[in-house]
Every structure is written in structure tokens, then in C-alpha cells.
Amino acid sequence: MKKISVLFVCLGNICRSPAAEAIFLSLLETKGLKDGFIVDSAGTGSWHIGKKADSRMRIAAERRDINILSRARQITIKDFDEFNYILAMDDSNFRNILDLKKRSATSDYASIKKIQDFRSVFNEQEVPDPYFGGDEGFDYVLNILEDSVNGFLESIS
């Protein structure tokens, strides 16, 4: 059985996308579905490659028993052929992903969407970047992502 592959993408891959990845992995574990998926995250920018997620996001997630273990990486052309779903956190990153895809000779294998297309509780069209705000912004982003990630899983189940 072929695994479903999902890539979450934000700007630097240290706040939103690693949190979405960890939430999705936790949800898959809870539902006994983890073996059927390949899950990763990436950033459209290269500033933080190799770094752990922002400590404020890791702490906020740990309070919810969610462990963010990934290291930042940048999205590559290869990702368009390796992932079934590429999910952007906001409009700017969505456009950056589409621009990268247009510049490459990739297939249409990956379905590129915005994570907020799968929201049910929150009205935000984008997942706000908590990086320059206070600690409460990280909790708010986790709330938004828990809603959207749940909706995404339901849409593909």
C-alpha cells in the first residue's frame, strides 16, 4: 500500500509548518494511521535551515503533549514529485510555492492547497505568523492549526 505524503510549508520552517507537522503526526498516532503517511515540513526561505523550531512554539506545543522534533529545511523542486499534498500556511507562501513550481519541469503530482481551506472553527484565511509577537500568538496558532489539520485529515479520509 502506497503511503500518503504531506508537506506543510511556511516562511522559515520554525513556527507554523513544524507545528502543523507535529499536530498532524500526533493526530495520525492517536487514530492509528501513522504507518500510512509520510509527513514533513519546509520553509520557502532558507534562513533557518538545520535549526530546531522556535523555542516558544516548542514550549506551547509541549503544553498540549505535542512534540515538535523536525529541523528546518527549504522546499525544493523535488518535493513536487514526492508529496501528494503541499499545504501552505498563508497566501504569500502559497504564491511562492506556485512560483517555484512554475520555474521547474515538475509533474502535477502534488496537490497544492492552503491549510486554511480545511478550517471549520476559525475564520482566518491565513495562519498568522507568531514569530514577532508575544507568547500568546503561539497558542493561538496552535488552536488554528489543530482545527485546520483535523479538517485536512477528514477531507482525505
Residue 107 belongs to domain with CATH number: 3.40.50.2300
Name the phi and psi angles at 74, rounded to 5: -100, 145
Instruction: Tell me what pLDDT residue 99 has.
Output: 94
Residue 118, beta-bridge partner list: none
Active site residue 16: yes
* Domains identified in the chain, total number: 1
The active-site residue, picked from 10, 54, 56, 90, is 10
Q: Exposure string (b/e) for 68-84, b if CB count within 10 Å is 16 or more?
A: bebebbbbeeebbeebb
Q: Which domain holds residue 50?
A: 4-156
Active site residue 10: yes
Asked whether 129 and 52 are in contact (CB, 8 A), the reply is: no
Distance of alpha carbon 74 from alpha carbon 10, whole angstroms: 10
pLDDT 10s digits, 64-99: 999 999 999 999 999 999 999 999 999 999 999 999
Q: Whole-prediction pTM value?
A: 0.96
Residues 22, 57 contacting (CB under 8 angstroms)? no
Q: What is the pLDDT along the chain (157 residues), one digit of tens a residue?
A: 689 999 999 999 999 999 999 999 999 999 999 999 999 999 999 999 999 999 999 999 999 999 999 999 999 999 999 999 999 999 999 999 999 998 876 667 899 999 999 999 999 999 999 988 888 999 999 999 999 999 999 999 8
The residue annotated as part of the active site, out of 15, 16, 58, 79, is: 16
CA dist 70 and 87 (Å) reads: 17
Grid cell listed for 72:
528546518
Q: Which of the residues 40, 54, 129, 147 is marked catalytic? A: 129
147: annotated active-site residue: no
- pLDDT number for residue 105: 65
Phi-psi sector, 2: left (phi>0), alpha (psi -120 to 50), beta = beta
